[in-house]
Amino acid sequence: MKTLIAVSLCLTALLCGVAFGDEPVLKDVFAKHFLMGAALNDDVVSGNDVNAAAIVEKHFNTITPENVMKWGVVHPEPNKYNFAAADRLVAFGQKNKMFIVGHTLVWQNQIPRWAFVDDSNYLLGRDAMLARMKDHIFTVIGRYKGKVNGWDVVNEALSDEGTFRKTKWLETVGDDFIAKAFEYAHEADPNAELYYNDFSLDKPAKRDATVRLVKDLKSKDLRIDGVGIQGHWGMNYPSREDLEAFINAMAELGMKVMITELDVDVLPSANQYRGADINVRVELQKELNPYVNGLPDDVQQKLTDRYAELFAILVKNADKIDRVTFWGVYDKTSWLNDWPVRGRTSYPLLFDRNYKPKPAFDAVIKTTPSK
Ligand code: XIL
C-alpha cells in the first residue's frame, strides 16, 4: 500500500512537472531568523492537493487555517459546532510537529448574522453578547487546548484612521470587547500565546492606535504575546520606514511581531485601495487581469526584486520578528485570484501554479547570510 502511494505520488509529480526536493528548504534557511509558515485550505490537509501538502511538509514549520476555524465554519448555528475541517488541520500540524496558529476568534467577517441577534432578531445587549463570545472562545480554544499554540484572538478591530472599526462587536459590547476577548482566551488556555492581528499597520494612525491598544491591554494585566501584521502587500507599499517604525514600536512594548498573511500583489490596482478588507469588491474588467497566460519576464523580475527587498527588511529585523506566514501555498489557490476582483490570475506567492518555486523564491533564499 505504502509503495503504491509513493509510486502514485511520484507519478503525479512527474506528470505535473514537479521536481520535488532540489530547492533549499525555507524553514531551514530561515531557522535562525523566524518560523516560516503558510495558511492552508482544507484540500491541503484532506489529501485533495498532495503536491501542496508536500510543499508545506518540506518548507514550513508553522500553519494557520485559511478559513476553517472562522466562526462561520466552526459555529454555523447557535449551539451547533462543526470541527471536522479544523480537526483535520490540527492533526496535520501535530503529525508534522508544526507550530499551529488558530485564526480567528473575534472578527466581524465570516460570522453568521445570528451571532449578534436574539431569537426575535434584536441586536444582543452587552451581557448576552459577552456570554456568547465567551461560549465561542471557550468551546473553540477548549477543544484545541495544548494543541493550537497561538491564537489570533481579535482580527481587524481598528480602522485605518486609528479609531475602533464600526462593527457589531463594538456596537453590542463597547470598545472593551477586545479586552474581554483576551481575558476569555487566556482563561480558556493559559498556556496559549495570544495575538492581535490586522492589516495596514504601517499607516501611522493605525500604528499609534495599535500601540494604544497594546498598552491598554497590558495596563489591565491581560496577556497579549504579539501582534500580527497581515502583510497583504503591494509593489510599492509598505515603505521600509513605515514597516520598520511599526516593528520597532511593537518590539518596544515587548510584543512578538509576526507577518501573518504574506502575499505580494503584482496585478494592477483596482481602486488604489491598499488594505485587505474582504468586503471591498471591484468588478472584473479586462485591464485588471493582464497576465492570464503568465507573467511577462519584466514583471516577474519586478516581483522578484520586491520580494528580495521585503525579505531583506524582515531578515534585518529578525531579532524582533517571530514568524513569517504566507497566505496560501501556491499561486493557483491564493485568495488574490478572487479578491478584490473575482476571477483574476494572480501571482502573489513563492510557488507557481505548477507547484514550482518561482524566481522570487530564490531571491528570498538569498536574503539570508546563512546560506
Ligand atoms: C480570506 C480567505 O483567504 C478567503 O478564502 C476568504 O474567502 C476570505 O478571507 N484578512 C484575514 C483573512 O484575516 O482571514 C482573510 O482570509 C484575508 C484578509
CA of 2 from ligand 1 middle (Å) equals 36
| Mean local confidence (pLDDT), 148-172 | 98
Active site residues: 156, 261
- List the alpha helices (DSSP H) in 220-296: 240-252
Angle at 24 between CA 291 and CA 99, to 5 degrees: 90
| 337 CB near ligand 1 (under 6 Å) | no
Ligand 1 atom 4: residue of nearest CA: 335
Q: Is the pLDDT of residue 89 over 80?
A: yes
Helix and strand counts by DSSP (H, E) for the chain: 13, 9
Of 43, 335, 337, best ligand 1 pocket probe by most atoms within 8 Å of the beta carbon: 335
CA of 199 from ligand 1 middle (Å) equals 11
CA of 83 from ligand 1 middle (Å) equals 19
Ligand 1 atom 12: residue of nearest CA: 66
Q: Contact, 155 vs 202, CB < 8 A? A: no
pLDDT band at 16 (very low <50, low <70, confident <90, very high): very low
What was the pLDDT predicted at 8? 52
* Cα(43)–Cα(38) distance, integer angstroms: 14
Q: Which helix (H) or strand (E) holds 169?
A: helix 168-173
Ligand 1 atom 8: residue of nearest CA: 278
* pLDDT, tens only, 102-133: 999 999 999 999 999 999 999 999 999 999 99
CA of 324 from ligand 1 middle (Å) equals 17
Q: Is the pLDDT of residue 257 over 90?
A: yes
* Cα(220)–Cα(222) distance, integer angstroms: 5
Residue whose C-alpha is closest to residue 195's, from 65, 96, 102 = 102
What was the pLDDT predicted at 270? 82
Cell numbers 531583506 correspond to: 312
Of 158, 227, 333, 339, best ligand 1 pocket probe by most atoms within 8 Å of the beta carbon: 339
* Ligand 1 closest atom vs CA 199: 10
Q: Which helix (H) or strand (E) holds 30?
A: none
* pLDDT, tens only, 126-140: 999 999 999 999 999
**pTM of the entire predicted model:** 0.94
Q: Is the pLDDT of residue 14 over 90?
A: no
* pLDDT, tens only, 267-318: 999 888 999 999 999 999 999 999 999 999 999 999 999 999 999 999 999 9
Which of the pair, 370 or 127, is modelled with greater confidence? 127
Ligand 1 atom 13: residue of nearest CA: 155
